[in-house]
Amino acid sequence: MTEDEWTAVRLSLLVATTATAASLPLGVAVAWLLARGRFWGKSLLDTLVHLPLIMPPVVTGYLLLLTFGRRTPVGAFLADELGIVFSFRWTGAALACAVMGFPLLVRAVRLSIEAVDSRLESAAGTLGANPPWVFATITLPLSLPGVIAGAILCFAKAMGEFGATITFVSNIPGETQTLPSLIYTLTQVPGGDAGALRLTLISIAISMLALLGSELLARRIGARQVTT
């Protein structure tokens, strides 16, 4: 493997991990709102969350560019006030991956929260637990297999994300050139086939490892808690 290929693999792992970690808390919160909340605009929120899933990735990437680009109001504010720059940085790739993986995460978590018996939650309430405590001690532990599944889906999506990433932050080696971007680049140059094939195999291996890990984790948790 060449140095470029290693760099791309490392970068992809960093981007996918960051994207998953960043979208997990927000994703669980939104999933809970959609599963248990009753408020005005719920279906609007639902649609908004699902947009990245149904829009062409290039469109999502372009919208990110329009929103978080260095010269846009939001981009300028984040850069000047908070020192966070997304455009043409690996952080931007992570943001694109997080947005793309978000609907998958929310769907999985929402389904598993909906499957938690709400009568258990009201029982916890009668024992003195306020809603945040009920969530932390009853809802979240009981929906943990779904949360893990959602996180793995999000991670896998982030590892493979291409369209939105390349549109938003381009394809800069060492900064935003993730594994799929490099595979794409290699297929465009003469003699790049061997490298593309190597990276393809690595990509498959990482995906399978992630899936296997989540299965094992979910099984261990499932064995600990059998719902009655």
Q: Given the rule CB under 8 A, which residues bind another protein?
A: 117, 119-120, 122-131, 133-134, 137-138, 141-142, 224-228
* Dihedral of the alpha carbons of 42, 48, 50, 51, in degrees to the nearest 10: 160
Indicate the residue among 47 and 137 with the shorter CB distance to another protein: 137
Minimum CB separation of residue 146 from another protein in Å reads 14
Residue 109, token pair as written in the block: 């978590």
Indicate the residue among 2 and 137 with the shorter CB distance to another protein: 137
The distance between the two most distant Cα atoms of the chain, rounded to a whole number of Å, is 69
Minimum CB separation of residue 118 from another protein in Å reads 11
Residue 82 CA to residue 182 CA, distance in Å, equals: 31
Minimum CB separation of residue 134 from another protein in Å reads 8
| 121 contacts 115 by C-beta, under 8 angstroms | no
Indicate the residue among 43 and 126 with the shorter CB distance to another protein: 126
Indicate the residue among 38 and 119 with the shorter CB distance to another protein: 119
Minimum CB separation of residue 225 from another protein in Å reads 4
Residues 6+ apart with CB under 8 A from 105: 20, 23, 24, 27, 31, 150, 151, 153, 154
